[in-house]
Amino acid sequence: MSIYDTQHRRESPSARVGMAILRMSQAVKRLSLAEAEGEGLTPVQAQTLLFVRHTKSFLTSIGRLAAALSTTHVTAVGVADGLIRRGLLTKEPSPYDKRVTLLRLTPDGERICQNLDRFGHTLEKALGQVDEADLAALEQQLGALVWSLRAAGALQVAEPCRGCIHFRENAVPESAEPHHCQLIQRFLTEEDSRLDCPDHTPASSSDGVAYSNGHATD
């Protein structure tokens, strides 16, 4: 049975919700395409710039970009090279491992990102019409769905450090890098701790729900 089958949808609440989510994803795709085009970019180029802007500075490698875009390494190299040619990205070797190249935004790339950060604004506006209690329930349920898709390997979810089981906040108070990640065994600045990391592992499933909905940077 397929969720495209109307008879099946009539009988199955999960098929109806699945179809609603599918339709929403089509709407989001159209909106993001329109916003990226406004900056003269394809959606994947816009996603790449936003990945570099919001990901921890030591994790902006091509390999991580490929995972974030759910694409191959070769395709990610092509996307990054196109943005480098346009003067929106640069590359530099990782200070931790010279074999790894990290992507950085140029000032022009930063400027475009500020405009792209309006991504989702129309969606937020539409959700603003929903009753507050219904919105809270939706947040909880969609958050749980996002994390179960992540657990199934269907989705990469990157989040900042707070709420991650590997995070030790203020391990060395008042130093330039006060926090510590036990996974990568590295000290972190406050700024890096607030940027996204695809290895974020929620301390509890309720953290996962909350963090997937953007509470991590609060």
Can you tell me whether residue 162 is helix, strand or coil? coil
Q: Which is nearer to ligand SF4, 22 or 183 (CB)?
A: 183
Q: How many residues bind ligand SF4 (CB under 6 A)?
A: 10
Q: Which is nearer to ligand SF4, 9 or 180 (CB)?
A: 180
Least separation in angstroms between CB 183 and ligand SF4:
4
Least separation in angstroms between CB 165 and ligand SF4:
7
Q: Which is nearer to ligand SF4, 9 or 56 (CB)?
A: 56
Long-range contacts of 92-97 (CB under 8 A, 24+ apart): 94/58, 94/61, 95/58, 96/58, 96/186
Q: Which is nearer to ligand SF4, 65 or 197 (CB)?
A: 197
Q: Which residues contact 112 (CB under 8 A, 6 or more apart)?
A: 39, 41, 49, 88
Dihedral Cα 128, 130, 134, 135, nearest 10 deg: -20
CA distance 102 to 211: 26
Least separation in angstroms between CB 120 and ligand SF4:
22
Q: Which is nearer to ligand SF4, 136 or 183 (CB)?
A: 183
By CB under 6 A, the residues from 153 to 212 that bind ligand SF4 are 161, 164, 166-167, 181, 183-184, 197, 199-200
For the stretch 63-87, what's the b/e string if a residue is b when 16 or more beta carbons lie within 10 angstroms of its beta carbon?
ebbbbbbeeeeeebeebbebbeeee
Residue 64 contacts ligand SF4 per CB under 6 A: no
Binding-site ranges for ligand SF4 (CB under 6 A): 161, 164, 166-167, 181, 183-184, 197, 199-200
